Amino acid sequence: MGYQTLLVENRNRIAFVTINRPDKLNALNAQAKAELKAAFEGIRDDSEIDVVVLTGAGEKGFVAGTDIKELTQLDEQSGKSFSEGGQAVFNTIENLGKPVIAAVNGYALGGGTELALACHIRIASENAKFGQPEVNLGIIPGYGGTQRLARLVGKGRALEMILSGDQIDAQEALRIGLVNKVVPLPDLLKTAEALATKIISKGQIAVKLALQSVNATHELSLAAGQSLEAELFGRCCKSEDFKEGTTAFLEKRKPVFKNK
C-alpha cells in the first residue's frame, strides 16, 4: 500500500516504518495518524513480520509533536475526540502483539515522546530530545502521555516534564529510564535492527506471550498479573518450541525454533 506520510519497508521479518514529513520534523497531521494506524494494522495481520522498527525521516526529527496547525480550531467536544483518536492510534501500536522498537533520531516532543512511549523498547540517538511541551500551548498531553510517561519514569519525573514543558536530552532520558539505550546517530538503525534480529531468533510464541504478559502490567493488579503469567507460561509449555528449547539446552546445541 502506498502512503504519503510514511515509508514502510519489510526486510528479514522486520517492518521498518519511517514517518516521512522531514520538512515539518515529522509532525503528526491527521493523515500521518491515519496512515500509521493503517500501516500498523497491516503489520499486525502480516504473518511475514515479527518485529517493527519505527523511526522518523531525516537527521533532526523523530516526531516534533502533533501538527500544531490542526489544533487551533478545537473546542471542548472536538478536542476530546481528537485526543481519543490519537490514543486509538497509539494503542494499536502498544497492543500490536509484536515488539515495536522506537529508533528515536532527533526531536521527540509532545506526540513524539508519546509515540515513543507507546513502543515497547526505545533506542535514542545522541542528538535525540524528549519533552512534553503541551503546557506551552495551553493543553496537556493527549495521546496517552500523562499515563504512560508516569508509569515509565514515575510520577515526579513525569510531572516535572509535563508541568515545565522542558526538553531533556538523550543522556537524561537514559538516566531516568525513558530510553533503553543511547547510540551515535549513524548507528541508530543498525542497533535497532540488530535487536530486532536477536528477538526474531527466539521462539516467537514465547516472545509474543512475554509481550502480552508484560503489557498487562498497566491494567492488572499483581495477583491478576501473576495469574495471567501462569496461564501464558502454561501455554508456552504445550508448544513445540518449548520442547526444542529445553532439549537443545540439554543436548548442548542451539535451538531451532519453528514458532509452533
Residue with Cβ nearer ligand COA (52 or 118): 118
When binding is defined by CB under 6 A, the residue of 39, 54, 64, 189 that contacts ligand COA is 64
Which CB sits closer to ligand COA, 99 or 133?
Answer: 133
Which residue, 115 or 119, has its beta carbon nearer to ligand COA?
A: 115
Angle at 4 between CA 54 and CA 186, to 5 degrees: 35
CB of 92 to ligand COA, least distance (A): 20
C-alpha cell at 40: 500498523
For this structure, is 134 an active site residue?
Answer: yes
Asked if residues 21 and 54 have their Cβ atoms less than 8 Å apart, the reply is no
Residue (164 or 226) nearer to ligand COA, CB: 164
* Binder of ligand COA out of 6, 8, 89, 109 (CB under 6 A): 109
Which of positions 5-24 make contact with ligand COA (CB under 6 A)? 24
Region from 7-15, 90-98, 103-111, 170-178 binding ligand COA, contact rule CB under 6 A: 103-111
Binds ligand COA by CB under 6 A, chosen from 9, 12, 42, 68 = 68
Tell me the C-alpha distance between 112 and 129, whole Å: 10
In order, the DSSP letters of the chain are: ---SSEEEEEETTEEEEEE--GGGTT-B-HHHHHHHHHHHHHHHT-TT--EEEEEESSSSEEE--B-GGGTTT--HHHHHHHHHHHHHHHHHHHTSSS-EEEEE-SEEETHHHHHHHHSSEEEEETT-EEE-GGGGGT----SSHHHHHHHHH-HHHHHHHHHH--EEEHHHHHHTTS-SEEE-GGGHHHHHHHHHHHHHTS-HHHHHHHHHHHHGGGT--HHHHHHHHHHHHHHHHTSHHHHHHHHHHHTTS-------
Q: What is the smallest separation between the CB atom of 221 and ligand COA, expressed in angstroms?
A: 33
Query: Is 211 in contact with 231 (CB distance < 8 Å)?
Result: no
Q: Give phi and psi for 202, each to the nearest 5.
A: -90, 170
Write down the least CB distance from residue 106 to ligand COA, Å. Answer: 8
Among 25, 93, 192, 196, binds ligand COA (CB under 6 A): 25
Nearer residue to ligand COA within complex by CB, 69 or 260: 69
Instruction: Please tell me whether residue 125 binds ligand COA under the rule CB under 6 A.
Output: no
Q: Confirm or reject binding of residue 105 to ligand COA (CB under 6 A).
A: no
Q: Is 69 in the site for ligand COA (CB under 6 A)?
A: yes
Active-site position among 70, 114, 160, 219: 114
Q: Which is nearer to ligand COA, 142 or 255 (CB)?
A: 142
Q: Which range of residues in 131-139, 152-160, 174-182, 227-235 is near ligand COA by CB under 6 A?
A: 131-139
Residues near ligand COA (CB under 6 A) are 24-25, 27, 64-69, 107, 109-110, 133-134, 137
- Residues serving a catalytic function are 114, 134
